Homo-oligomer: A and B are copies of this chain.
Amino acid sequence: MKQLVLFALAITTTTALAGEGMWAPDQLPQLADQLRALGLEVDPAQLDDLTAHPMNAVISLGGCTASFVSPEGLVITNHHCAHGSIQYNSTEENNLLQRGFLATDKSAELPAGPGSRVFVTVSSDDVTDTILEGLDETLSGRERYQRIDDREKALVAECEQENGYRCRVSSFHGGLFFKLIKQLEIRDGRLVYAPAGSIGNFGGDVDNWMWPRHTGDFSFYRAYVGPDGKPADYAEQNVPFRPKHFLEVSTEGLKTGDFVMAAGYPGRTHRYRLARELEQRIAWYYPTLKRAFDDRIDVVQTATTGRPETAIKYAGMVEGLNNASKNYQGMLDGFAKSDVLQRKKKREQELLAWIEVAPQGRSEHGAILERLEQLVDEYESFRERELYYGMARRPAMLSTARTLYRLSRERQKPDEQREPGYQKRDELRIRERMVRLDRRFDPDVDRALLRHAILRYSAIDTAQHVTAFDAWFGIEGTKIERDNLDMQLDEMYSKTRLGDQRARLAWLDKDAVAFEQSDDPFIKLAVHLFDSDIALEEREKRLAGEFQWARSRYMEALIAQRRSQGLPVYADANGTLRVTVGKVAGYSPRDAVVYAPFTTLRGIVQKNSGEEPFDSPRLLLDAIATGEFGPYEERSLGSVPVNFLSTLDSTGGNSGSPTLNSKAELVGLLFDGNYESINADWDFDTRIVRAIHVDVRYVLWVMQYVDRAHELLREMGLRIDM
């Protein structure tokens, strides 16, 4: 009987672990038994070591995840993560986004573009005590915010004394814990190989978040460093970076039910947010943002009609807006079918009940839910201003002017007192942004976006208006004279020099006085708004300080409650390295419909219509037609697996995450979640939430049989007998 009980326990625990959970690597050794029960064959203790295999091979591109797959710094990530670099190297005559690109040798590899980075996390240290020391509840919110900010900056400054590293302090559980993350910052990444766009982005927006999927969402970079092995700016004499560890590729292949895990840098989740916060999102944020984003898409499309080269400049923005709009709709669709609100409320009641009888009692945590709800309400009371004033300051000319002037003002302070984002360590990035703008800016479209945003802003409740902004654009109450606005905008856009890259870069070296004396209309507007914006920022900072106190107390209680139930607790995603474990599995999206976990080459042929985004290249279709699948065929499917589903827990930022089998070998790349996963950011339903991966067998088959990237395959250790 004893064995039986143990077995039953093991089932329960592994079920609890498989799927939901974005585990920090240092949590994994504690979960060793469950990981082994799930099928992990490597030593769980080894997953904790960021300098060892496999974690050392998992890297960040800032917004995406990637991994080293050769001793010579070859990096694999998603095609959509390399999109910017591919676009950067494209011309009208040689459109790499469309045609794809394969460097004939290392000398032909292309610069990844300004701002591209490869980050290798080398350490992650708990600095909670340093950050929070002495910050008791008597402190005001504003002061609390400032002390934390100052201490974070000090820790970062110290950490970055070693050249070539980038550091940051990340907060976990709403400020309950803090970690100092240290990353090697490689500044010379080069594009090595990207398949044709109609492979890498097959299905486009239509298939985004959808299953069945047939996207070859992979591309290759190579990380370069100076001849001394240290990070360096792009230069001819740079040499490939030699990572301490890289991932081995497995061609053995996965099957339904197999163990998989993925390591990556998920951005944001809200699993522990209050029912009240979710209510706000459902009732206001998601529908309102969806409308606002759809409107902005319309504005851009109207303003770029008949101007294809301008449309290309805004393609990235439109893609992002479409993606977000579909995401918000997915949230609303998901929540409409879900009982998550009731469950959240029930759990909050259970937590309160538990606190009543817990050892620390009411005194410490009793009123914390109430306090947090009050803060949420206070924060929400200016949500219209936050959204619509934010949108009005977003168009490129105004945001450029604001950034430049803010930098000049921050420079008046000692570096350690400057606002994060405007310190010396940030100046290169600001410069890179000013350079990149040329490829994403058109004055007519920018004007249309600003005009639209001003009109939307003007219509919100006047209590939410910003006096300085109203005064500038002649907004009285909710009234604005459109003819006057048009004249004013015409004049601002005809006069400003900020559309010119050299002019923008020149401003980087000017002091605040120069700005205050400028007659560039957008610089003048930035100066005009400055004090008022700082005042708004003060409110945000005060609230942030109060939230940190309240949220961390709430999370402390919640974690204590869960631990008392024997449940391990992971933190919400915050852009730091996490590991998710689960298995290959399909699901049933609705009654009588079953989604199998693997798609095949057959599905590409079925979807191919010849029309974008279902316009497979002839070479691909021909290769499929020959039926030569080599070692990449999955016999049980009679084809090469293209994409697969897993129960892994992921969100934006996980894109490009290496998917590893039980031996920690590379078997795929995570590149999306299914439609039902969209509201997993709030509520993970293990029955239907799935991550979508490109199967490495498809990657390798395309490389070998379509694009003939044989050298790269050999570099990755594959034997190609051709």
Show the binding face of A for B, using Cβ within 8 Å: 211-212, 214, 337, 586, 590-600, 602-603, 606-607
Contacts and interface: CB of A to CB of B under 8 A. Distances in A.
Contacts of A593: 212, 593-596
Contact of A600 (B591, B595, B597, B607): B591
A597 B599 CA distance: 21
Nearest to A594: B594
A591 B337 contact: no
6 contacts: A337-B606, A586-B592, A590-B603, A591-B599, A591-B607, A594-B595
The 10 closest A-B pairs by CB, nearest first: A591-B603, A212-B592, A594-B594, A592-B599, A592-B596, A591-B599, A591-B602, A212-B591, A590-B606, A591-B606
Nearest to A213: B592
Majority SS at the chain A contact face? mixed
Contacts of A212: 590-593
A550 to B, nearest CB: 39
A35 to B, nearest CB: 29
A211 B596 contact: no
Given A592-B595, A594-B596, 16 more contacts: A211-B592, A212-B590, A212-B591, A212-B592, A214-B591, A586-B592, A590-B606, A591-B607, A592-B597, A592-B598, A592-B599, A592-B600, A593-B593, A593-B596, A594-B594, A594-B595
Nearest to A336: B609
A603 B593 CA distance: 10
Nearest to A596: B592
A586 B603 CA distance: 19
A595 B589 CA distance: 11
A212 B592 CA distance: 6
A634 to B, nearest CB: 13
A590 B213 CA distance: 11
A159 to B, nearest CB: 47
A646 to B, nearest CB: 14
A594 B592 CA distance: 8
A606 B594 CA distance: 15
Contacts of A590: 212, 603, 606
Contacts of A594: 593-596
A45 B173 CA distance: 76
A594 B595 CA distance: 6
Interface centre among A593, A596, A598, A606 (most CB of B within 10 A): A593
A337 B596 CA distance: 22
A66 B209 CA distance: 45
A611 B229 CA distance: 65
A603 B592 contact: yes
A606 B590 CA distance: 7
Nearest to A590: B606
A594 B606 CA distance: 15
A598 B592 CA distance: 6
Contacts of A598: 592
Contacts of A600: 591-592
Nearest to A645: B592
Nearest to A639: B591
A354 to B, nearest CB: 31
Contacts of A214: 591
Nearest to A599: B592
A322 to B, nearest CB: 24
A602 B588 CA distance: 12
A600 B588 CA distance: 13
A300 to B, nearest CB: 32
A214 B590 CA distance: 12
A596 B595 CA distance: 10
Contacts of A586: 592
Nearest to A211: B592
Nearest to A642: B591
Contacts of A595: 592-594
Nearest to A604: B591
Nearest to A598: B592
Contacts of A596: 592-594
A481 to B, nearest CB: 38
Contacts of A591: 212, 214, 599-600, 602-603, 606-607
A187 to B, nearest CB: 41
A586 B595 CA distance: 13
A54 B602 CA distance: 44
Contacts of A211: 592
A408 to B, nearest CB: 56
Contacts of A599: 591-592
User: Which residue, of A212, A592, A594, has the highest number of chain B Cβ atoms within 10 A?
Assistant: A592
A602 B596 CA distance: 21
Contacts of A607: 591
Contacts of A603: 590-592
Contacts of A602: 591
Nearest to A588: B596
A668 B602 CA distance: 35
A617 to B, nearest CB: 19
A337 B609 CA distance: 10
A606 B211 CA distance: 19
A607 to B, nearest CB: 8
A209 B596 CA distance: 23
Nearest to A214: B591
A211 B591 CA distance: 10
A597 B586 CA distance: 18
A205 to B, nearest CB: 19
Contacts of A606: 337, 590-591
A596 B212 CA distance: 16
Nearest to A643: B592
A590 B600 CA distance: 10
